[in-house]
Structure 1
């Protein structure tokens, strides 16, 4: 997958569109997805505070053999673990801490990540491998921590550094039926490889 950085759009909060572009190997680019999302009235500045809107973009841009479906509920569940073990990728909204790891700030630092793999340690603890537009590095997070962060997205806060911008919120806000809380997008039928590390 190509490497992405927030520097591509320094004045626009395009993390969800960047994560989708990562999934699609850069075709279309985040800028092209932004133009499409703006035309569909899913966003004003690149923000994606609706998992439903991003899901509709995913449906539009993925092609066979890839398939996608919406997941509602906690991420730390057998269904998501089985899908990750079968090679699925996830687009997940969560609260990002200062080091971009999952935290719980009620949605005030809402961000999107692309989950591209998983790890299971000797104690059977489940971790996910994540990419997002704030760094070039892969991140490894506890699935439980990501699940809790995703489930705490209940309240919009004006993003730091974008105090003068107007953002589009779905009906009911980020905790509504089209919002972010307990929602993620699962993409399946991707090529994958299982590697054992001793």
Structure 2
């Protein structure tokens, strides 16, 4: 199995059902992925739409919407959506400790943003989950936005030197890729909510 971070983040929304392995089969069937890579936010959003349709029991009777957003993650409108309870699937570049960094997309990774915090200076931080750890991370929204905007080129992963990955037209920095794109999910509430 190859890198499945986007599919793993997507599976987290549905509490593991469907699993990342099931989503991988779906992505391969649709021609979106060879080994789990998801370099198109458009295609991951399409898989999310299918998952929402199949998992109405998780969202009860609310009108859950998923929207592909293009632009700056650190925008006032996005901050308002965080305050209204929206969650986000966000591609970014991870550093060695998985925090957002600026590596031109060479290690593109997906995270699920599940909450926020505002400090005394009105700076926003987001709570993130991703497939490389079971721990909840706290990152600067500004750093995550810069990392998301920095996804401009694909780099063959060292752990998969011979693997052929499916890239969207224009690459990961193009209009069908990952740069300055993320998925907003409104009105979704998990079965068990934690309020800090």
Gaps of 5+ in 2: 57-61
Q: 1:86 is matched with which residue? A: 84
Q: State the alpha-carbon separation in 1 of the partners of residues 89 and 2 from structure 2.
A: 19
* Paired residue secondary structure (2:36): coil
The CA deviation string for residues 146-193 of structure 1, in whole angstroms up to 9 with x for no partner, is: 000000000000112111211000001001111000000001112376
Choose from 90, 100, 103 the match for 2:101.
Answer: 103
User: Cα–Cα, structure 1 residues 61 and 195, in superposed 2: closer, same or farther, change >3 Å?
Assistant: closer
The CA deviation string for residues 94-142 of structure 1, in whole angstroms up to 9 with x for no partner, is: 0010100000010001000000100111111100000000011110000
- Alignment length (residue pairs): 186
Q: State the alpha-carbon separation in 2 of the partners of residues 166 and 50 from structure 1.
A: 15
TM-score by length of 2: 0.91
Choose from 10, 15, 26 the match for 1:25.
Answer: 15
* Paired residue secondary structure (2:167): coil
What is the aligned-residue RMSD (CA, Å)? Answer: 1.4
Q: State the alpha-carbon separation in 2 of the partners of residues 194 and 20 from structure 1.
A: 19
Gaps of 5+ in 1: 1-10
Moved over 3 A (4+): 192-196
Q: State the alpha-carbon separation in 2 of the partners of residues 161 and 24 from structure 1.
A: 29
Q: State the alpha-carbon separation in 2 of the partners of residues 60 and 111 from structure 1.
A: 22
Query: CA shift at 1:48, angstroms?
Result: 0.2
Q: State the alpha-carbon separation in 2 of the partners of residues 95 and 12 from structure 1.
A: 17
